[in-house]
Structure 1
Amino acid sequence: MKITVYMTGGIAVYKAVEVVRHLQKAGHKLRVVMTKNAERFVSSNTLAALTKQPVLDDLWTKEHEATIPHIELARWTQLAIVVPASANFLAKMANGIADDAASTTILATAAPKAVVPAMNDQMWSNPATQRNLSLLKKDGIAIMEPVVGLLAEGYQAKGRMPEPDQIFSWLEEKYLTANKRLQGKKIIVSAGGTIESIDPVRYISNHSSGKMGIEIAKAARDAGADVTLVYGNIQAALPDGINTIAVKSAQDMYEAIATNFNDADVLIMAAAVGDWRAKTVAKNKLKKQADQAELQLTFVKNIDILKTLAHAKRADQLVIGFAAETTELLENAQRKLEQKGADYIVANDVSQNVFGSDEDQVTILAQNKQPEKWPKMTKKQVAEKLLNLIRKRF
């Protein structure tokens, strides 16, 4: 896993170095962000030497003049950990303040976040700190509370940072072993657009690039699942470590998915499947006549893959569909959820150059639940967040 460790000002920062070592020994990729106050206790050279990566502590150095380092690191991160988290940094996180390299980078990070506060007991119990902690919890940020122990001031009280091995165990249980919680699960993902032939030369399709489905397949693979990717017309590289089945038409895609559906635990229909196909496919190229002003074709409905398989699923199977809409997003997606019989619908507005883009903004609809609007993020981050949703179901 790609983990960014944030170190803030406080004597406990020296123990955070051991947390980095624990994570390294577990095989994770580490990068470090430090506040200027953290560097008063531990040198950034120490962390750079350990991680073999430069430490981000300043956005305005000469080497960063032509780059945007905080966005690059935010996109790279799969898990952000603040250890130790000072009262000041907790306040910045809770209120969206971005006035240095660390606070700016973590504000730009969409990956899961965990904080390990350490401070004087009076600062910890202050209503402002507790209010900030409540805000962070509402934002979905995990908090490992400090323990009662000997503080820097020389007396016993709550505020001491837990020991590095305890922090690592907490992270491992909450995030790191969770990364493989889909081990043994079989997941089918569809991606790309389908192709419906008109004649041997021409066809109708859509603008789907397949990026979203491919990112979902990769995230499922990284979560330990046995993944089958059924893909149509795509403009993205196929991932390694995944079973792949190439198809063209909607009927081809249905047959490929149906063949594997009974053995699957999850079906994620991210493909843009054509609703219509030509009633008759010409055997030869349709030639343009000199006096021909228009061409009329008759189309018939394709099989509705999502509806057909969702209505046939077992109680222990999970089916997720996508609703790509240009108008009335939530109304159309809700209707699709009810009619198709899927467990979830991922609704996205494709009227704003979503096809082919690396970013998306989606809303999750589920049976008997209020729609959950996710912030705009990369398709990779959407995929990882969607897999976290699936993990909770299992």
Structure 2
Amino acid sequence: MDEQRKKQDGPRVVLGVGAGIASYKVCELLRRLTESGHSVKVVPTADALRFVGEPTWAALSGQPVATSVWEGVSEVPHVRIGQRADLVFVAPATADLLAKAAHGLADDLLTNTLLTARCPVVFAPAMHTEMWDHPATQANVATLRERGNIVVTPASGRLTGADTGPGRLPEAAELFEVAVRVLAGAPQDLAGRHVVVSAGGTREPIDPVRFIGNRSSGIQGYALAKVAAARGAKVTLVAANTSLPDPAGAAVVRVGSALEMRTAVLEAAASADAVVMAAAVADFRPVTSATSKIKKREGEDTLPIELVKNPDILAELVLRRTPGQVIAGFAAETDDVLEHGRAKLARKGCDLLVVNQVGEDLTFGAPDNAGVVLSASGPEREIPRGSKEALAAVVWDEIAALLG
């Protein structure tokens, strides 16, 4: 079987390209899709071809580019392309495209395709911050999400010119992961929901160069954010001291200490349907933090550091919960895992608690994890060792069931 036939036998993806400067990044997304065996039909808008030309899309996809409803009319492309797709992925999704999709307008081949598609549809917006934040755009995004479409929250960073802020198209590798998860059959049971996830480990300053911290890498929290986005959720990720790239589909709020984590999580949770506290939050912080580096002194072998308890963010979330809100926590234990976990679930009052055993070479920084989901209202569910995304999927299964 020749290479072209192999491509056509793979999952059928329609790659819609909007008229934005970020379309150059979509070339890399197309390359990843085709090299992993997907059959990709590129459908750019007329103005999108001003940024990246038709020959580039054709060469990378190995297929003719569909640009007009008036080409190949006998094959009824404005209907058939959408009908035959396993996934429609629009990137960059401009403010104009989002508005047309939300209101059912169909003045070109791509918008016709969006109306005829009965497969999952993913929009990856990219635009200037003012356009993304505009109430009209936010209303259109909300409408699309309510209908079960996945709208990937744009990243923050350098935009066109010298501007910086939310509205940047996520990197191709992250978008590719979203496409793969959706094609793998990720349920859309979180569509229209807002979820908050915390990740990483807080650091409590002793002086400007030292801190009390922990070994958390943030990988599990980021996996929770990625899986939630692929299941249709609007995701706010509160990340403490991680070196991981922003996951596509999550609005990332960066924090350092437990007090900063508390402020950010409580603010985001006020409008959330579910909150998952996966971050490793320090239980204590120094009463005072030196304003300059603490120096060793001759004749002094010890340096007492007085500690004070940090606020219990998970318990506070439970006290402040809104009607119908689901709250889940994580408990990292080194011994008597289930015993400590059950006691913590009763003490915190949350709906779910994921308990797992941790150690220097176990879980922290590793790509895999295992655990047990404890429930305040149902049976315990053991999660065998596997990828952290697999564990995240089970956690969202449980949360989605509680959300109903």
TM-score class, shorter: 0.5 to 0.7
| Sequence identity percentage | 36
Residue among 378, 391, 394 paired with 2:400: 391
Which runs of structure 2 are paired with 1:213-228 in the superposition (5 Å)? 213-228=221-236
Tell me the CA shift for residue 391 of structure 1.
2.2
Letter paired with 1:24: P
Deviation track 1:72-99 (CA, whole Å, cap 9, x = no partner) reads: xxxxxxxxxxxxxxxxxxxxxxxxxxxx
Tell me the CA shift for residue 292 of structure 1.
1.4
- Aligned counterparts of 1:27 and 1:389: Cα–Cα separation in 2: 32
Which runs of structure 2 are paired with 1:1-394 in the superposition (5 Å)? 24-25=11-12, 179-351=187-359, 353-393=362-402, 394=404
Q: Which moved more, 1:383-392 or 1:221-230?
A: 383-392
Contact 1:319 1:342 in 2 (8 A): yes
Tell me the CA shift for residue 375 of structure 1.
0.9
Residue matched to 1:65 = none
- Aligned counterparts of 2:343 and 2:323: Cα–Cα separation in 1: 22
- The number of residues matched between the two structures is 234
Tell me the CA shift for residue 317 of structure 1.
0.1
Tell me the CA shift for residue 176 of structure 1.
7.7
Q: Which has the larger radius of gyration?
A: 1
Tell me the CA shift for residue 51 of structure 1.
5.9
Tell me the CA shift for residue 286 of structure 1.
1.1
- Aligned counterparts of 2:14 and 2:327: Cα–Cα separation in 1: 33
- Aligned counterparts of 2:274 and 2:378: Cα–Cα separation in 1: 20
Contact 2:286 2:305 in 1 (8 A): yes
Letter paired with 1:236: L
Deviation track 1:172-228 (CA, whole Å, cap 9, x = no partner) reads: xxx988622211100000000001001112111100000000000000011110000
Q: Secondary structure at the match of 2:208?
A: coil
Contact 2:373 2:395 in 1 (8 A): no
Q: Secondary structure at the match of 2:259?
A: helix
Contact 1:311 1:340 in 2 (8 A): no
- Aligned counterparts of 1:376 and 1:176: Cα–Cα separation in 2: 20
- Aligned counterparts of 1:247 and 1:350: Cα–Cα separation in 2: 23
Q: Secondary structure at the match of 1:345?
A: strand
- Aligned counterparts of 1:27 and 1:275: Cα–Cα separation in 2: 49
Residue matched to 2:22 = none
Over 3 Å counting, the alpha-carbon distance change for 1:326 and 1:180 in structure 2 is same
- Aligned counterparts of 2:190 and 2:375: Cα–Cα separation in 1: 21
Over 3 Å counting, the alpha-carbon distance change for 1:176 and 1:192 in structure 2 is closer
Contact 1:214 1:239 in 2 (8 A): yes
- Aligned counterparts of 2:293 and 2:266: Cα–Cα separation in 1: 32
Segments of structure 1 that go 5 or more residues without pairing to the other structure are 1-19, 29-49, 53-174
Contact 1:211 1:235 in 2 (8 A): no
Tell me the CA shift for residue 284 of structure 1.
1.7
- Aligned counterparts of 1:349 and 1:360: Cα–Cα separation in 2: 9
Contact 2:12 2:38 in 1 (8 A): no
Q: How well do the aligned residues superpose, as a CA RMSD in angstroms?
A: 2.6
Over 3 Å counting, the alpha-carbon distance change for 1:218 and 1:297 in structure 2 is same
- Aligned counterparts of 2:363 and 2:211: Cα–Cα separation in 1: 23
- Aligned counterparts of 2:351 and 2:201: Cα–Cα separation in 1: 22
Segments of structure 2 that go 5 or more residues without pairing to the other structure are 1-7, 16-36, 40-182
TM-score normalised according to structure 2 size: 0.54
